[in-house]
A and B are shown apart, each in its own frame.
Chain A
Amino acid sequence: MGGERSIDQALVERVQQGDKKAFDLLVLKYQLRVSKLVARFLRNPSDVPDVVQDTFIKAYRALPNFRGDSAFYTWIYRIAINTAKNHLVSMGRKSPAHSIDIQDAEDYGASDWLKEYASPEREALAGEIQENINQAVSHLPADLREAIMLREMEGLSYEDIAIAMDCPIGTVRSRIFRAREAIDEKLEPLLDEYSHNVGDT
């Protein structure tokens, strides 16, 4: 996955030339990681979306000054931390005195956070989503299941999965997509229900 930085940099350059859609792609790629990072700081989970949104808007405004000396994620990580700290200050709370490493933030047990702050309804829905996805994974054809597990559980690159499964990289890419698509068919109606319930609460 050595192309991550070059694709990110290419997208950044497109944004700098006025292509806002390129920024959409950067948001799509990094919003989950930024959400987890921000959730590590904030005590109130309902504040996370606002802070994540602020982070990306600030990043967009600051992009003319981004020269690509560091990776895009490292750069937006700093913006996210500062935005979260400022949010805590504005809410009259003290921000964490210690700095948090990117890897520590990503390794932070999000499920612990969920147990501590989630409402019973949300927890039930999250449990239902988890169970449905587990079932969908278990019903996948063996080659698709192996490909998606190697990617999501082991974090292997497509190149490494291709070696492990003894097939071309294009086949790996296709298998992972087909696995996601099959799981997504079960997930989509549940998420509609989830977002409907969250909206109600």
Chain B
Amino acid sequence: MKMNNEKSAAEKISAYIDDALKADEVSALLETNDSNGMFSVATRYHIVGDAIRGELSDSTMVDVSAQVHQALLQESFDAPDSVKSTIKSSEGDRFGFFAWLESFARPLTGMAVAVSVAAMVVTVVQLESPENNSQQLASSPENLQVPTLIVKKQSVDNLLNKQQRLTEFDDYLTEHAEFAAQDTLQGRIPYVRSVSYEVK
């Protein structure tokens, strides 16, 4: 006579190979310690089925479960990212006030950083652009000036010096762009350097 535990596991295996095992019974089956016994019972039940159908063959006798089990003992499993995040979140569950605080703090921090960057960009662009910038753009493309972002301590003197240097650099670029072919991006817009790559 089989022990009750063995019998119970065999009964679950019988239901499992018929897809009739309930979801909550899967855990109980997984807790069975006797893997080898489980493998051989399942194989024999498959053989019974094939024999009743008159389909018994050598392939019915193939039982690689023990070999696969042994081979996989050496394997490390790289869980997918989705599962890792699930595991991580379930491991690091926080409750109560801290969880509530964290749920608000994260988006607020991100938003604060974004607002700071945007404010800084607007301020610097306004400082760098001369009042008549739009008029210059419209009147002469040779005097075209690109609004430039410079993030450092600003002073009136520095700004004036920088403005002058940029104007000189613009002139230099415009004058030395005559060798660039006009049908290329560089010829049309001498300030731009484009980088591209091909995907094979």
| B52 near A137: Cβ-Cβ < 8 Å | yes
Say which size band chain A's interface belongs to: 35 or more
Task: Tell me how many residues of B have a C-beta within 8 Å of chain A.
Answer: 59
Interface status of A102 (Cβ within 8 A of chain B): no
Interface residues of A in 164-197 (CB under 8 A from B): 169, 173-174, 176-177, 180-181, 183-184, 187-188, 191, 194-195
| B80 near A16: Cβ-Cβ < 8 Å | yes
Q: Which residues of B contact A95 (CB under 8 A)?
A: none
State A187–B44 Cα separation when bound (angstroms): 8
| A53 near B64: Cβ-Cβ < 8 Å | yes
How many A-B contacts at CB < 8 Å in the complex?
199
| B29 near A25: Cβ-Cβ < 8 Å | yes
Given contacts A36-B59, A152-B49, A194-B61, contact A181 B77 (CB under 8 A): no
| A110 near B44: Cβ-Cβ < 8 Å | no
Q: Which residues of B contact A27 (CB under 8 A)?
A: 64-65, 68-69
State A194–B56 Cα separation when bound (angstroms): 13
A177 to chain B, nearest CB (A): 4
Interface status of B183 (Cβ within 8 A of chain A): no
Please list 19 pairs of residues, one from A and one from B, whose beta carbons are closer than 8 Å in the complex, sorted by A's number.
Answer: A4-B19, A7-B26, A10-B26, A23-B68, A28-B42, A32-B59, A35-B62, A38-B59, A49-B64, A49-B67, A64-B79, A65-B80, A110-B57, A129-B47, A151-B18, A157-B20, A158-B15, A174-B11, A181-B7
Q: Which residues of A contact B18 (CB under 8 A)?
A: 1, 151, 158, 176
| A176 near B14: Cβ-Cβ < 8 Å | yes
